[in-house]
Structure 1
Amino acid sequence: MGFTAQHDGRGRLDATQADLGCGWAWEAVHRTRPRVVMLCPECAHPVHAKVSRYGLRFFAHDPGSPTCALAGESMEHHLLKLELATAVRAAGYHAELEVRGPDGDWRADVMATSPDGTGRMAWEAQLSPITVDEITQRTARFAKDDVRVCWVATKLRPWVGEMPSVHVRPPSDDEPNWIVAGGLARFTVDRCEEHLLCRSIGHGEWHETTADLRPFTAWALTGRAVAHPLPSWLHTEQHAWTGVWTAPQYITAAATYQQAHDRAVAALEQQQRLRADEQRRRREAEYRAQRARRPTAPATPSSEPADRQPTVPQQVSRTAPRPEPVWQVNLPSQDREHLHAAALAEARLLLGVNAELRYRDGDRRWALGTPLYAGGRP
């Protein structure tokens, strides 16, 4: 089963178009006598026009066909390809199904071409299992011929998000349209008073969002949505995304926020260094003051003449050992809580984990600090 067939006189026939893409009516090939000779573009085996009980038009292989990739596709695969082609055409682009590359090393389920013919984008309905390496290689073959690609999956496979891809949901009683259920995200900055950094620059995060497949297809074709690798994973209830589709303004907002975050962290670290230097200078001054107040022992007189006293090597002055800079013990409790809050915020922003503080005793085994734990592990 496929949506395309090859005819000697008319060329490529497309069952998803009213005129078969060549100015020929469906009735010209469906149930005609004598039968129109048409071949499968994939395996060159004869095919004939058919209509399913749901009104879906397609080309079926004649009996005795060899193993063919098009013949082995499921009904869900065909319906998704049909929806993608319809979405591409609704966006004002030309859609052609089951298109082979010039070297034959790739075949696009739906090839979208811009009205001026300068831009091409393949839409791949990938429903069967495939490894990350395989899909990476297939994406590279498209890129070799300057073809962008979006992989569309109905199940959350391990590769989803590694390549430009989305997870879609088929229509149901509650949702009459195909839905982009995963892989589409936006960036927001929320104000809060929970952490020190949040109070200064807000709390920036990527959030997953959904949309109908047809509008999303138009956004991706026209650049209003672009594939974007994330600096840290976006964890949802079902999947961990390493890349998403998003609007360019959200990428700009995320970069601006990161710059503000880096400046705020640098300012906070500078404040901490200045505070630590001030505390060190204060301790050193107190130590010098204590030594100045320490009484000196009086010299013991000798009964022997000065010229007969033995020569004693001069003792090297030994100062008391410098006290350890136990900065956390001396840090005011409010500043200590701010520092802990900043560490938790950094763990959430950079690593995408919700950490917790343990062992605030400032013991030497923690290097006088406080370890962070995430998922029960340090």
Structure 2
Amino acid sequence: MSFTAVHAERGRLEASLPNLGCGWDWSAIHRVRPPVPLACRECGHGMLAKVSPLGLRFFAHAPGAPTCTLAEESMAHHLLKLELAQAARAAGWMAELEVSGPDGRWRAGVLASTANSRCVALEAQLPSTTAAEIRARTQRMGADGVRAYWFSDRSRIPWLGAVPSVRLARQGEDLVAVEPMARFTGAYWDPEPSIPLSEFVGRVLTSRLVSHAPRTPQRHVVRPVTWLWAYPKCVLAEAKKLGDEEKQQRAAQEEQERAERRGYARQEAALAERTARSDPDRAALARHSARLPGIDRAITQAVDMFRTRVTVGWSVGDSGYASGVPLVNDHGTLLAVFDPLPLAGPCPDFLLDVGLPMLFPTEERRERFEEHRATGERLRRLRQQAIAAALADDEWPPRRLSSPA
């Protein structure tokens, strides 16, 4: 049996439509003599208009028909296709039964469409098949711009969730969508209650339910699926959770990297101070720096911060301090830098890495330094991005970056 047939002049006839989809009344083809010449769209054999004992209109192959996929489909298969078409029409979509794709690469049991040419195939799949075959058929339709959604009322469906699909069950006289529908609860996907088939199809076609590949665990399910049905707000909630986790992980990694750079920078400062204190001539330079305008106030600030005795370090003049003066404790440990002022180019990496207070004689000097620091941080990020890109592209050394103007 089939719900469609072809007439030489009227074209395609569909038994589920009041006017057969061509402006022709059912009485014009049912039980008329001589029979109206109709043909199967699949095999070309003659067809007859018939009505089942329950009033279902359909087309049947005339005797002597060759092997035809439409003729081989069961009554349950055809009835499910009819329910899917009726649900699509109830949602405001046009629905055609048994529509073939370009060059016959695929055939949709129900092709639902809108005026703006959106097309969705609603596929009743009752015979046993594999997940690989379902994926291949889905991909063939997708290549022609048609999304395929699969429906089955079997209790065991090996391909369920391998593609956008749903298991149906009979509740009284009605079919209901049972699984895999889920709601995101903040950490897991939990199953949603079943809903009538017509309501499910309506929600899917109006994007109130969307097919989604979950990236967080599924809980209380018989088996996890690759594709489930979810409300858009749940999809957004999962994306936000994963985005927040990614930001936290990235922030933690960046903080770990900063901590490592701080450790190296402070070791570098300690080595510079020890080396300088072995040179008596550096003591005179330190005493000279101790008389700079504003440094006494800076030393007082450092004492208040660290609650220890603070002096000018002998490593003054080291290029890492960007013309600033190191302030150290009695053990030579760097505590702060007074009045760093890069005269050209961005703030050196050392001052960004060491992570210690920068003290200034005036607010104007501080603002100028902060401007250089911001430039240095931007350049550092650009360098890191260039290195990462070069490693990804096997390009080494990376392209040289010019300093921002």
TM-score interval w.r.t. the shorter chain? 0.5 to 0.7
Partner residue, 2:135 = 136
Cα deviations by residue, 1:123-177 (Å, 9 ceiling, x for unpaired):
110111111221111111101110011011112322110111111113x43xx32
Question: 2: CA distance between counterparts of 1:217 and 1:23?
Answer: 27
CA 1:244–1:6: 2 relative to 1, 3 Å? same
- For residues 157-168 of structure 1, the aligned pairs below 5 Å read 157-168=157-168
- How many residues align structurally? 255
Distance between the aligned counterparts of 1:104 and 1:266, measured in 2?
50
Name the Cα RMSD after superposition.
Answer: 2.3
| Matching of residue 247 in structure 1 with residue 220 in structure 2 | no
Mark the runs of 5 or more structure 2 residues left unpaired by the alignment: 256-405
Structure 1, unmatched stretches of 5+, are 190-203, 272-378
Counterpart-to-counterpart distance in 2, 1:14 and 1:49: 11
**Corresponding residue to 1:188 among 160, 185, 189:** 185
**Structure-1 residue corresponding to 2:198:** 214
Aligned counterparts of 1:28 and 1:144: Cα–Cα separation in 2: 39
Partner of 2:22: 22
Paired-residue identity, %: 45
Secondary structure of 1:99's counterpart equals strand
| Mapped partners of 2:8, 2:252: distance in 1 | 74
- Equivalent of 1:256, from 217, 223, 240? 240
Q: Which residue of 1 aligns with 2:207?
A: 223
Q: Secondary structure at the match of 1:35?
A: coil
Q: Whole-Å Cα distance in 2 between the matches of residues 104 and 48 of structure 1?
A: 24
Q: Tell me if the contact between 1:233 and 1:242 (Cα under 8 Å) persists in the aligned partners.
A: no
38 and 253 in structure 1: CA distance in 2 versus 1, 3 angstrom threshold: same
Corresponding position: 1:35 with 2:26? no
Q: Which has the higher contact order (CA 8 A, sep 6+)?
A: 1
Determine helix, strand or coil for the equivalent of 1:240.
coil
Q: What is the DSSP-based 3-state SS (H/G/I as helix, E as strand, rest coil) of the residue aligned with 1:231?
A: coil
1:208 is matched by which residue type in structure 2?
Answer: P
Helix, strand or coil: the match of 1:27? Answer: helix
1:95 corresponding residue in structure 2? 95
Q: CA deviation at 1:9?
A: 1.3
Aligned-pair distance for 1:20?
0.6
Decide whether the 8 Å contact of 1:98 with 1:109 is kept in 2.
yes
Equivalent of residue 174 in structure 2, options 173, 177, 180: 177
Aligned partners of 2:113, 2:212: CA distance in 1, in Å?
22
Question: Greater helix share, 1 or 2?
Answer: 2
Q: 3-state DSSP class of the match of 2:214?
A: strand
Q: Which residue of 2 aligns with 1:320?
A: none
**What is the distance in 1 between the residues matched to 2:60 and 2:11?**
18
Query: Would you say the 8 A contact 2:188–2:216 is kept in 1?
Result: no
8 Å contact 2:125–2:150 — kept in the other structure? yes
* Cα distance change, pair 8–260 in 1 and its aligned pair in 2 (3 A): same
Matched residue, 1:311? none
Whole-angstrom CA distance in 2 between matches of 1:16 and 1:238: 37
2:276 equivalent in structure 1: none
Q: Is the 8 A contact 2:113 2:119 kept in 1?
A: yes
Q: Is the 8 A contact 1:110 1:122 kept in 2?
A: yes
What displacement does 1:74 show? Answer: 0.9
Measure how far apart 1:70 and its partner are.
Answer: 0.5
Find the counterpart in structure 1 of residue 293 from structure 2.
none
Mapped partners of 1:177, 1:267: distance in 2: 52
Measure the CA separation in 2 of the matches of 1:84 and 1:96. Answer: 10
Equivalent position SS for 2:239: helix
Query: Secondary structure at 1:234's aligned position in 2?
Result: coil
Per-residue deviation, 1:257: 2.4
Alpha-carbon contact 1:234-1:242 (below 8 Å) kept = no
Farther-moved stretch of structure 1 (136-145 vs 221-230): 221-230
Give the 3 Å change call, closer, same or farther, for CA 263–112 of structure 1 in structure 2: same
1:336 aligned residue: none
For residues 61-100 of structure 1, give each alpha carbon's deviation from its aligned partner in whole angstroms, at most 9, with x where no partner exists: 1111111111111111011000000001001111000000
The alpha-carbon deviation at position 222 of structure 1 amounts to 2.0
Deviation at 1:238, TM superposition (A): 3.9
Distance 2:117 2:18 in 1: 25
- TM-score by structure 2 length? 0.59
Q: 1:265 Cα shift?
A: 7.4
1:58-77 correspondence runs (5 A) = 58-77=58-77
| Whole-Å separation in 2 of the counterparts to 1:90 and 1:152 | 18
Greater mean alpha carbon deviation, residues 252-261 or residues 241-250: 252-261
